[in-house]
Amino acid sequence: MTALPEATEVDLTAKVSRLPDGGENTFRLLVRNGSISSESTVPDPGAALTAVERFGEKIFFAVRRTDMICTQQYGGPQVALVTGVLHGRQVHSRFSLTDGCEIARWRAMEPLLGGAASRRGLV
């Protein structure tokens, strides 16, 4: 288990769906008393926590600007819903691969969403 500052508290669950076939994987990242819990089920809890600490605030709580320009590319039918708590704040965030901006969000949080295989729909 990786030791973290005492103030760190994370309990996030990511449900990753492969549409249209409906296959779903669920991953959990749990940090209690400053340590990654053995109850975490993400493939690499340390990498998931690093991604959450680095990008979580701006990804989970930012409002997407209406003037934001995103490349019109399609990354696949996968959809992920992340719920839980990050440092005392409720998280309810949807991820998809519908355009360049969404693909960038997914890649930033990929360790929490099950790694690169989740983007390819292989998990």
Can you tell me the distance from the alpha carbon of 61 to that of 19, in angstroms, rounded to the nearest whole number? 25
pTM of the model: 0.83
Whole-number average pLDDT of the chain: 86
**Fold for domain 10-64+72-116?**
Subtilisin Inhibitor (3.30.350)
pLDDT of residue 118: 63
Domain ranges of the chain: 10-64+72-116
Higher pLDDT, 23 or 47: 47
For the stretch 55-95, pLDDT in tens is: 998 999 877 778 878 888 887 889 999 999 999 999 999 99
pLDDT of residue 5: 47
Query: Residue 83 is encoded by which pair of tokens?
Result: 């719920």
Neighbours of 75 (CB within 10 A): 17
